[in-house]
Every structure is written in structure tokens, then in C-alpha cells.
Structure 1
Amino acid sequence: MTAEAPAGPAEEPAEPGGGVAAGRFWSERRGPAALVAVVLMGASGLLLYDVVSVRAGRPAASWRRTLADDLAARPLDDAWVVVAAAAAVLAGVWLIVLAVTPGLRGLLPMRRDSELMRPGIERGAAAAVLRHRALEVSGVRSVRVNVGRRRVRALAEAHFRELDVVHADLDAVLTHGIRELGLARQPALSVHVRRPPRR
């Protein structure tokens, strides 16, 4: 379980119960931001240095003259021009997607009682808690729990008792367990019970 200071693109409205609405956690995207900043800073610094050198009376750098001549001579349908344009478009789309999506899909927001803290729980931890609860149900031999943002899926194997009875007990126990997790958005529950395969 984690707790962080509020983060997000906008103020969050109050919940009907008096608490503060808990939106998804937004990733800080430090890696992509640092990469873009370093590339742009390096390219801008190199170009600025060459422009200042030309203004000071020195000849332009050979790489800039070669690049200008090459760009002036190549047609727009040249393979290298198309590849470079496609790479620039893909990089731009990637950056836009990173800017408008929250990220941190593995961290589920929990209900907030204060604006100062944002509690959250990792999906793996939530799945472990629910799996432990499910194994306490009589007749359950093994169970696999997958916790998503909108749905919790449980697949159990029952080696005795009727499958319908085990299913009903599992449904009740997991529903109560999900409620006790205190998630901001209550996920739907899907329970499947089967007999273990014969060997």
C-alpha cells in the first residue's frame, strides 16, 4: 500500500459521502521528459554555437553545409526523407500519448478522506489479499485472482463440496474483501469454480 501527495491535471470534486474523489495516479514520465530535454538541448546548443560562429565571421560548420545541400537536393519522395518524417510523426504521437494518459496502471486509487494524502494499492497486493481470503473458503483447493481496474477475476478449483455452494461462498467472501480494500472505484467481480483436472 502506498500514499502520495495529490497529483493530477485538475482539481478533483468531492465525493457524495463527504470524502474527496480519488482519480487515477499520473506518472511523472521522468525518463521520456529527460530524453526529450537532452536531445533538444543538445541540438539547440549545437545549432546556436554554429550560428554565433557564423555571426562572428567564421565559416559555417561542414555538417550544417552538408545537411543544407543534401536537404535542398533530395526530393520529397526520397526514401530517407519519408523514413525521417515517419520517425518524427511516431515520436510526436508517442509524446502526445504519454502527455494525455495517466500511466501507473498497476496502482489502484483508494478512497480519500483528506486532500493531503492519496492512498493507493498495487494490483499484485490486492490480488494477494483476495487470494488469501478465497483460500479460507471450505472446499477451495487453489485459486488464481486477477485484479484489474474495472474487474476482479477469480478462478478456483474445488476438490469437495458442490461447485454451486463453493461459488456462492467465494462470491460472498470476495465481494466483502473487495469492499474492505477501500478502492475508490468498486470493480465488478467474476468468479469461476471448477474441479481440478484428473491425472
Structure 2
Amino acid sequence: MSVLDAPLDKPSEPSGDSEAEEAYRKPRRAWSPRGFVAALCALGIGGLAGTAVFLGVAARLERTPQWAYDLLDRVQTNDWTDRWVWVTGVVAAVVGLWLLLLAWTPGRRHLLPLRPVAPDMTAFMTRRTAGNLLRHTALASTGVLDARVRVTRRKAVLRVDYHFRDPDELHEELEEALRDRADSLLLARVPVVDVRLQPASGR
């Protein structure tokens, strides 16, 4: 076998960093800074801490205000089954669950991450933009009068009003066109297209 007839080996691609590959595979969702919530929490914690310091200094100087004695007496003498205790506990529990929910969820649900082009770069597309692009694709089909789109992270539901078309043929045509359009959006998670036809007479 001559040198020209010998099979050529494919050039080995340089193995990238594992973190870079992970960033390419799994782009992060957009996290909301939640500045208002952080400021509210800081204000509340600062107020409680300042009150505690004030009462401590006042007690050392033997100038504790009367309202502090009244509050301490109310806490010690009231039973835990009192209504105001229950209301305070429920409010505190609801606020705590709300803060935990904000801490565990990224927020900015209207932003959909795109496929990353670099490890340190992330781009986003709004759900409204993705829905408009899918809607225009559906309106380009013959017989389609109107289309309403709802886009989530995993699914795109289109309710299409049509006339003068075979529903099976139109459904197949729309699914193929919308799947191609969804792939062309370059979203990190391509939504599943769900087409629901409705005849114009049923509007």
C-alpha cells in the first residue's frame, strides 16, 4: 500500500477544560438580583439588631424604657394560644417560606438561555420574542387566520384558528415548520411544539 492509499487519521481535537465543557452543555438561567428584597431584609435585621443593642445599653445604664418592660411582661404572661401569637407566627412562617422560595429560584422567568458560544458568555431570549417568531411562522401557512402562543421553558403551545384546510394536513405542516423554527432559535432547551387547531367557525 502506498502512502497515498493509506487512510488518513482524523486530527485529534484538543480536549477543553471540563468546566468549559460543562458551561457549554448547561448554561445557567438568569438569576434576579432582587435588590428590593435584599434591602428589605437588611433593613429588618438592622432594625432588630439596633433595638437589641439599644435595650442592652439602656439596661446597663438602668434606663430601660417602659415599653420594653411592657413588651417583656406581655410575652411572659400571654398564653401561646392567644390569637395575636398565632397571627404573628403565621406571618413569620409565610415570610420565611417566601424568602426561601426567592433564594432557591432564579427568577426572571421571562428569559430563556441560548446555546452558549463561549464558557464565560451567556445570552438570553425573552419568551415573548420566541413566541412572536413561532406565531409568525404559523401565520405564514395557508389557511391560518390567527395564532396564539404560550412559551414555557419546555413547551410551546400554539392555538391556531384556520379555515379552508384539511386539519390533518395543516397540523402536519405546522408541526414540521414550527419544529424547524424552534430549532433555529438556538435555545439551550428546545421547546416541544404543541399545535392545537381550532376551526374559524368555532371562534
Q: Which runs of 5 or more residues in structure 1 are unaligned? A: 1-10
CA contact (8 A) 2:163 2:200 kept: yes
Matched, 1:134 2:138: yes
**TM-score scaled by length of structure 1:** 0.85
Q: Which has the larger radius of gyration?
A: 2
Q: Distance in 2 between matches of 1:26 and 1:164?
A: 42
Deviation per residue, 1:122-158 (Å, 9 max, x gap)? 1111101111111111111111111111111111112
Task: Decide which of 174, 179, 190 is 2:183's aligned counterpart.
Answer: 179
CA RMSD of aligned residues (A): 2.0
Shift, 1:181, TM fit = 0.8
Q: How many residues align?
A: 186
Partner of 2:50: 45
Q: Distance in 2 between matches of 1:169 and 1:116?
A: 39
Q: Distance in 2 between matches of 1:118 and 1:197?
A: 45
Shift, 1:70, TM fit = 0.7
Q: Structure 1 stretch 27-36 or stretch 172-181: which is displaced more? A: 27-36
AA in 1 matched with 2:142 = S
Q: Distance in 1 between matches of 2:19 and 2:84?
A: 47
Matched, 1:102 2:106: yes
AA in 2 matched with 1:46 = T
Partner of 2:68: 64
Query: Structure 1 residues 153, 12: closer, same or farther in 2, change over 3 A?
Result: farther
Task: Decide which of 51, 59, 75 is 1:54's aligned counterpart.
Answer: 59
AA in 1 matched with 2:33 = E
Deviation per residue, 1:40-69 (Å, 9 max, x gap)? 1112112212322332x2410222111101
Matches within 5 A, 1:69-108: 69-108=73-112
CA contact (8 A) 1:107 1:122 kept: yes
Q: Distance in 2 between matches of 1:141 and 1:76?
A: 63
Query: Structure 1 residues 36, 140: closer, same or farther in 2, change over 3 A?
Result: same
Q: Distance in 2 between matches of 1:95 and 1:19?
A: 31
Q: Distance in 2 between matches of 1:71 and 1:157?
A: 64
Q: Which runs of 5 or more residues in structure 2 are unaligned? A: 1-17
Higher relative CO (Cα under 8 Å, sequence separation at least 6) belongs to 1
User: What SS does the aligned partner of 1:22 have?
Assistant: coil
Partner of 1:22: 27
Partner of 1:144: 148
CA contact (8 A) 2:158 2:194 kept: yes
Matched, 1:113 2:117: yes
**TM-score scaled by length of structure 2:** 0.84
Deviation per residue, 1:25-48 (Å, 9 max, x gap)? 222222221111111111211221
Task: Decide which of 186, 190, 200 is 1:196's aligned counterpart.
Answer: 200
AA in 2 matched with 1:193 = L
User: What SS does the aligned partner of 1:111 have?
Assistant: coil
- Percent of aligned pairs with the same amino acid: 34
Deviation per residue, 1:95-116 (Å, 9 max, x gap)? 1111111221111111101122
Q: Structure 1 stretch 119-128 or stretch 164-173: which is displaced more? A: 164-173
CA contact (8 A) 1:178 1:186 kept: yes
